[in-house]
Chain A
């Protein structure tokens, strides 16, 4: 018969010990916040979003009234607020100039640009770019838009189709909106997992489990107390991260009761998994290696730092067998999309895995030696 008194007494002693351990506190609470600050600053800071492109204007044709068409064209590119056009003197070797400036993006306006425009002769711009980089697509897109405008104008035409921007109820999610659920998932994984791997291996080595086996506390009570502790830590950590995200980066995330299952099932899953790893390992050192082998791929492949939609298909398949994926996916569904039916599927998957691993950990873990 499990005893609540024993569980809470163990929780109290463990919690007190944890609070006295500065390193544990740092990794449990402060580290995820630092990650939000760093990633948030990188992706949501004062980035103007402009793409730098080098442009060499080789047009020397003078044929009024079209003498300054190439200049107008350059100004039109600049005024899009998407491109930051840097002029390169016509006397420069353009390709050498690009490589000297560590850039692959460049545009050459050919000689007789203005004249041929006036005479309605075909003109070909030369565009340098690396097709594997996203900047190349942006430059080509903007360039095509400006070219179409100039072509249209040459024949006296006007725009018929225009664009009005609108939203579908919520603002388009920003990177930081994805980052916060991801990092909450990260802290739900990392704190209990690393801690329990270490504790289980260390207690086994120091015979602390044997010590506990001489008291009435049971394996279930002991493990339950650790899970409760990491549930509390996950909730604290959540509020801290959400506050930083909202106040520092204006993140748009929803706070709802739907978050609760993740804060309970997540620590349950990873405490139990950490314990399994710790008791399976032969030494404290090998436990830590084994813990890292499991934790790090899961950390990066579960959509924690970047959405799995940008991953190739085979990595996406890998993500779907990682329990953290369902936590991060579920948190995104709850906090960003308010898609609760999808979140329910995530919660069900996590619940099943958590219960299986919890029972396995408690059963396989031996207080006493044969």
Chain B
């Protein structure tokens, strides 16, 4: 049975995860190249990056199912490879593309896991928690993609772990199934669970994570809350004015502000100080030229992400790295 909210104090001041200079290579390929981070009690920590950035390798090392080549890793105070057996009793894991025995149903699977972990479980309670009560008796092979992922989530909860690893929990799901999984994850967060989540969906990381580490080429290129990352890696706040190139040139000439024109009727003025906006607007008014709508704008996480990983976001919100960025070869 899932324990109710456990206070963050349950960690006794210990961080659930501490990673320092973690390295893993596959032959010439540096899959994880010296990453360091800490996951704090009760937070949802997102590892965001394009496919092949090294997220799954990193999370599998933390889960104790893959051996690392270098660096220090402590998960719930244990070395994941050396103390894997002990670790697995304390954590919950939902692997990427979760699969199970095809002729077993979710209820049987939960009971089975209960026996393996030697804990008393109420399958109905766990199924309710992941919103899978209606499919309790459907065989795994007959479940939809979203239901299979929910069953994976359900099994990761059987041993009442305080730390959960969710490796791309919504990959391949349709938008409504994805949102249903998000609701479950939010519920777990509300109960105080610490969650590590990998995803290549920007929206998923933004919606669910307290802090995000952006991975590319096996390295962490940015880490922090969305605001912190935007502040650190995004461009400064700017004033956008709908106007002509002539107006842009006028403002540029008559102020000391940095002014850009996009060639399509949008003038962008960088705001080092809030009062720079006033200066720009006074100049626009003095020009006696036509200008329309104005607003201020900051970079979104998406802008920063695209800038950091030189990738693009497709129509599904999935991050696509440029072809040569999926892995980088060792020197």
Which residues from chain A sit less than 8 Å from chain B, CB to CB? 3, 5-6, 9-10, 12-14, 16-18, 20-21, 206-208, 210-211, 213-217, 367-370
Which residues from chain B sit less than 8 Å from chain A, CB to CB? 60, 63-67, 84-85, 88-89, 93, 95, 97-104, 108-109, 111-113, 115-118, 139
Assuming the contacts A215-B88, A216-B88, A370-B67, asked whether A6 and B115 have C-beta atoms less than 8 A apart, the reply is: yes
CA distance A17 to B88 in the complex (A): 25
Nearest B-chain residue to A13, judged by Cβ: B112
CA distance A142 to B224 in the complex (A): 100
Nearest A-chain residue to B91, judged by Cβ: A214
CA distance A368 to B68 in the complex (A): 12
CA distance A221 to B88 in the complex (A): 17
- Let me know if A214 and B115 touch, CB within 8 A: no
Assuming the contacts A216-B118, A368-B64, asked whether A10 and B112 have C-beta atoms less than 8 A apart, the reply is: yes
- Let me know if B84 and A207 touch, CB within 8 A: no
Name 15 A/B residue pairs within 8 A (Cβ), A-sorted: A3-B118, A5-B118, A6-B115, A9-B116, A10-B116, A12-B112, A17-B104, A18-B103, A207-B99, A208-B100, A214-B63, A216-B88, A216-B118, A368-B65, A369-B67
Assuming the contacts A16-B103, A17-B101, A20-B139, asked whether A214 and B65 have C-beta atoms less than 8 A apart, the reply is: yes
CA distance A211 to B101 in the complex (A): 11
- Let me know if A215 and B104 touch, CB within 8 A: no
Nearest B-chain residue to A367, judged by Cβ: B65
Residues of A within 8 A of B139 (CB): 20
| Closest CB in chain A relative to B161 CB, distance in Å | 11
Nearest A-chain residue to B117, judged by Cβ: A216
Partner of A211, one of B60, B99, B118: B99
Partner of A5, one of B108, B109, B115: B115
CA distance A213 to B95 in the complex (A): 12
Residues of B within 8 A of A3 (CB): 118
Assuming the contacts A207-B95, A211-B95, A216-B88, asked whether A16 and B116 have C-beta atoms less than 8 A apart, the reply is: no
Assuming the contacts A20-B139, A216-B89, asked whether A206 and B99 have C-beta atoms less than 8 A apart, the reply is: yes
Known: A6-B118, A208-B101, A210-B65. 9 other contacts (CB 8 A): A9-B111, A13-B101, A13-B108, A213-B88, A215-B113, A216-B89, A216-B118, A367-B65, A370-B66
- Let me know if A16 and B108 touch, CB within 8 A: yes
Assuming the contacts A10-B112, A13-B108, asked whether A368 and B100 have C-beta atoms less than 8 A apart, the reply is: no
| Closest CB in chain A relative to B198 CB, distance in Å | 15
Residues of B within 8 A of A370 (CB): 66-67
Residues of B within 8 A of A210 (CB): 65, 95
| Closest CB in chain A relative to B118 CB, distance in Å | 7
Partner of A216, one of B85, B101, B103: B85
- Let me know if A215 and B117 touch, CB within 8 A: yes
| Closest CB in chain B relative to A253 CB, distance in Å | 35
Residues of A within 8 A of B67 (CB): 368-370
Assuming the contacts A9-B115, A216-B117, A216-B118, asked whether A21 and B66 have C-beta atoms less than 8 A apart, the reply is: no
Residues of B within 8 A of A21 (CB): 103
CA distance A137 to B97 in the complex (A): 68
- Let me know if B100 and A211 touch, CB within 8 A: yes
Partner of B66, one of A12, A14, A208, A369: A369
Residues of B within 8 A of A367 (CB): 65
Residues of B within 8 A of A14 (CB): 101
CA distance A216 to B114 in the complex (A): 10
Interface-centre pick from B60, B97, B103 (highest chain A CB count, 10 A): B103
Residues of B within 8 A of A9 (CB): 111-112, 115-116
Residues of A within 8 A of B100 (CB): 208, 211
Residues of A within 8 A of B117 (CB): 215-216
| Closest CB in chain B relative to A197 CB, distance in Å | 17
CA distance A210 to B63 in the complex (A): 11
| Closest CB in chain A relative to B60 CB, distance in Å | 8
- Let me know if B66 and A368 touch, CB within 8 A: yes
| Closest CB in chain A relative to B247 CB, distance in Å | 60
Residues of A within 8 A of B104 (CB): 13, 16-17
Partner of B99, one of A6, A16, A208: A208
Assuming the contacts A9-B115, A368-B65, asked whether A214 and B93 have C-beta atoms less than 8 A apart, the reply is: yes
Nearest A-chain residue to B116, judged by Cβ: A215
- Let me know if A20 and B103 touch, CB within 8 A: yes
CA distance A263 to B211 in the complex (A): 58
| Closest CB in chain A relative to B186 CB, distance in Å | 24
Assuming the contacts A214-B63, A214-B93, A368-B84, asked whether A17 and B103 have C-beta atoms less than 8 A apart, the reply is: yes
Nearest A-chain residue to B67, judged by Cβ: A370
CA distance A21 to B88 in the complex (A): 31
CA distance A266 to B44 in the complex (A): 51
Nearest A-chain residue to B101, judged by Cβ: A17
Residues of A within 8 A of B118 (CB): 3, 5-6, 216
Nearest A-chain residue to B89, judged by Cβ: A216
- Let me know if B88 and A211 touch, CB within 8 A: no
| Closest CB in chain B relative to A13 CB, distance in Å | 5
Nearest B-chain residue to A5, judged by Cβ: B115
CA distance A368 to B67 in the complex (A): 8
The 10 residue pairs across chains A and B that have the minimum distance between CB atoms: A17-B103, A9-B115, A20-B103, A215-B116, A206-B99, A370-B67, A368-B65, A13-B112, A214-B93, A217-B116
Residues of A within 8 A of B109 (CB): 13
Residues of A within 8 A of B63 (CB): 214
Nearest B-chain residue to A205, judged by Cβ: B99
CA distance A216 to B108 in the complex (A): 17
| Closest CB in chain B relative to A209 CB, distance in Å | 10
Residues of A within 8 A of B116 (CB): 6, 9-10, 215-217
Interface-centre pick from A210, A214, A215 (highest chain B CB count, 10 A): A214
CA distance A12 to B109 in the complex (A): 11
Residues of B within 8 A of A6 (CB): 115-116, 118
Residues of A within 8 A of B98 (CB): 211
CA distance A196 to B298 in the complex (A): 59
